[in-house]
Amino acid sequence: MLLHSFPCFPQLDRLKKSILPVGLSLALCACNPNTTPPPPPVAEPPSESLSNPPEPSLEGVTLTVLTEVGPTIYEPLNRRAPDFERLTGATINVMTVPFGQLYQTILDDLSQGTKQYDLIVFAPQWMVDFAAPGYLEELDNYIANDPALEWSDIAPFFREFSATYDGKTYTIPLDGDFQMVYYRSDLLEQAGLNPPKTWDDYLEIAQTFDGKDLNGDGEPDYGSCIAKKPNSHAYWMFGSILSPFVQNQGTRQGMFFDPETMKPLVNNEAFTKALEIYKQTTQYGPPNEPNLAIHDVRDLFASGRCALTLDWGDTGTIIIDPEISQVIDKVGADITPGSREILDRETGELVPCDKVTCPYAINGINHAPYAAFGGWSGAVNAASDERRKEAAYRFLSYMSQPAQSNVDVTIGATGFNPYRFSQYSQLNLWLEAGMSEATAQKYLGAIGLSLSSANVVLDLRVPYNNRYQQEVLDRVLAAYLRDEISTDQAMAEIEQGWEKITDDVGREAQGQAYQATIGVK
């Protein structure tokens, strides 16, 4: 079941009743005002027994885990590993490679059968390349016999998108990813400005505060800070700008290709507009923004040097850390900016939003929150021996169980963002982590509004998606920011590059895979 099948999650009623302002709670189900959700299930509090040692013992088993270089993602795995070792007798080695090398490192190990890694923690959008050839262990039977995992507590979007391929479960979600906009609420309130609802609003706010001293250190600061470093996160940031201009009819519509022909949705006015906004935000950012990675931007925002930023849920937890944040209780979050115009796919032109063209619009604005990356998830190497496979699954389950994960998602250093209903609805988790009630309402409200949208954009998950995004889109975006190519040249290079990949891999097969991932078939 994909998100379009449940545009308003019944379980989010718990969130709406417990923490959200009345206006926002009404907006959560604006996507389908005629739907009356059934009563939500009653969530049991996490049991302390979830941390008890599972049986049988894993004494003598050495488990090798692979993920990206820390501090994030590696941090919770490495921190929790000694506890799991004491509980089970297993030995856990957490290995890392830079993110840009992670896909190929995993693929080489799995395809060559070297069995160097028993457990991989990776981007679920790569799953098709690993699951289709049979490299990953199917986990449905493990999950069915694991009540401690509390599988139904994981939000359906993450459970189904991050965890499944072709109707089978291959990963356990450890993280929930989609992007949101963060803003300095104190600055906007002082200036009498509202949070940005459109990308035009975003640019106006960025221009207003750019060059002003935003943290009281006597130095000019920045209106906007966005990670644009090549071979890092740039193409996902661009995707959040592009998404509301391209997808307007719900998740099934997709953002990247025409589902019938696999023609890239690139050479059109929507893509032009997104490229121009992407470059314009750079005018209001740090001089070296085209080379800033996501951790650089998070540091800048936490130090009070940016009025706006675009990020996953990580910023929401980083800005409450008193050791690094100068903006505690000065930050708000919201669904990513939208657009009052959307792409007419027949003509390639932008047309105004109305009730037909933008059925999920909020106050005439089409929002399309981008589930960039999809949330870090763990998978088991099918080629490992049975005891190591069992150990790999049990460590994954341990990491994802509420007793551990409901704490980890509140810690900025983990890189893990909320993905369970209990994490959205239990305000005390966030208050205990040091978040004020007002900040928690804004943060969890933005998550709820984004997650409940029927127009969430699924990240690209066809075979060789890294070639489309990392090898072509990322490279062209970097050249575009360096003014080496024009807007038209950028679109032409992306379109030609994507068409070549599709033809090389097989247009019919890629088309079928794309339709399957967005729910057309």
CA 279 to chain CA centroid, Å, is 22
Q: Is 343 helix (H, G, I), strand (E, B) or coil?
A: strand
Q: How many structural domains compose the chain?
A: 1
Any domain includes 397: yes
How far apart are alpha carbons 94 and 359 in whole angstroms? 46
Closest CA to 456 of 161, 233, 165, 235: 161
What local confidence, expressed as pLDDT, does residue 158 receive? 82
What local confidence, expressed as pLDDT, does residue 309 receive? 98
Any domain includes 182: no
Closest CA to 458 of 516, 342, 372: 372
Any domain includes 398: yes
Work out whether the CA dihedral 347, 351, 354, 358 comes out positive or negative: positive
Report the b/e string of 424-452 with b at 16+ CB within 10 A.
bbbbebbeebebeeebbbbbbbbbbbbbb
What local confidence, expressed as pLDDT, does residue 117 receive? 98
How far apart are alpha carbons 77 and 92 in whole angstroms? 10
How far apart are alpha carbons 490 and 478 in whole angstroms? 10
How far apart are alpha carbons 348 and 102 in whole angstroms? 36
How far apart are alpha carbons 493 and 497 in whole angstroms? 6
Contact between 409 and 421 (Cβ < 8 Å): no
Closest CA to 199 of 234, 229, 243: 243
Q: Which residues contact 426 (CB under 8 A, 6 or more apart)?
A: 406
Any domain includes 60: yes
How far apart are alpha carbons 233 and 415 in whole angstroms? 14
pTM of the model: 0.81
Domain that holds residue 98: 51-177+376-419
Q: Residue 137's domain is classified under what CATH number?
A: 3.40.190.10
Any domain includes 140: yes
Longest Cα–Cα distance in the chain = 64
Sole residue written with tokens 């709670």: 25
Beta-sheet strands, E only, within 154-296: 164-165, 168-169, 171-173, 180-184
Closest CA to 254 of 461, 448, 505, 492: 461
Structure tokens at 408: 């980890």
What local confidence, expressed as pLDDT, does residue 160 receive? 76
What local confidence, expressed as pLDDT, does residue 259 receive? 94
Task: Quickly list H helices, 52-177.
Answer: 74-88, 99-112, 127-131, 140-144, 156-157
Structure tokens at 331: 């930050």
Beta-sheet strands, E only, within 372-471: 377-380, 457-458
Q: Would you tell me the crossing angle of helices 234-246 and 269-283 to the nearest 10 degrees?
A: 130
- Cα of first residue to Cα of last residue in the chain, in angstroms, is 12
Closest CA to 241 of 283, 209, 206, 273: 273
Any domain includes 267: no
Sole residue written with tokens 């994802």: 400
Q: Which residues contact 414 (CB under 8 A, 6 or more apart)?
A: 72, 73, 75, 76, 408
Closest CA to 28 of 252, 331, 313, 335: 335
Q: Which residues contact 314 (CB under 8 A, 6 or more apart)?
A: 72, 294, 298, 412, 415, 417
Structure tokens at 516: 């399957």
Q: Is 434 helix (H, G, I), strand (E, B) or coil?
A: coil
User: What DSSP character marks residue 325?
Assistant: -
User: What DSSP character marks residue 145?
Assistant: T
Cβ-in-10-Å burial (0-12, 13-18, 19+) of 288 comes to exposed
Any domain includes 166: yes
Any domain includes 91: yes
User: What DSSP character marks residue 435?
Assistant: -
Q: Is 352 helix (H, G, I), strand (E, B) or coil?
A: strand
Q: pLDDT tens track of the chain, all 521 residues?
A: 333 333 333 333 333 333 333 333 333 333 333 332 333 333 333 433 344 444 579 999 999 999 999 888 999 999 999 999 999 999 999 999 998 899 999 999 999 999 999 999 999 888 889 998 999 999 999 999 999 999 999 988 788 777 888 889 999 999 988 899 999 999 999 999 999 999 999 999 999 999 999 999 999 999 999 999 998 889 999 999 999 999 999 988 999 999 999 999 999 999 999 999 999 999 999 999 999 999 999 999 999 999 999 999 999 999 999 999 999 999 999 999 999 999 999 999 999 999 999 999 999 999 999 999 889 999 999 999 999 999 999 999 999 999 999 999 999 889 899 999 889 888 899 999 889 999 999 998 898 888 778 898 989 989 999 899 999 999 999 999 999 999 999 999 999 999 999 999 999 999 998 988 887 76
DSSP run (H or E) holding 17: helix 12-19
Contact between 352 and 198 (Cβ < 8 Å): no
What local confidence, expressed as pLDDT, does residue 162 receive? 73
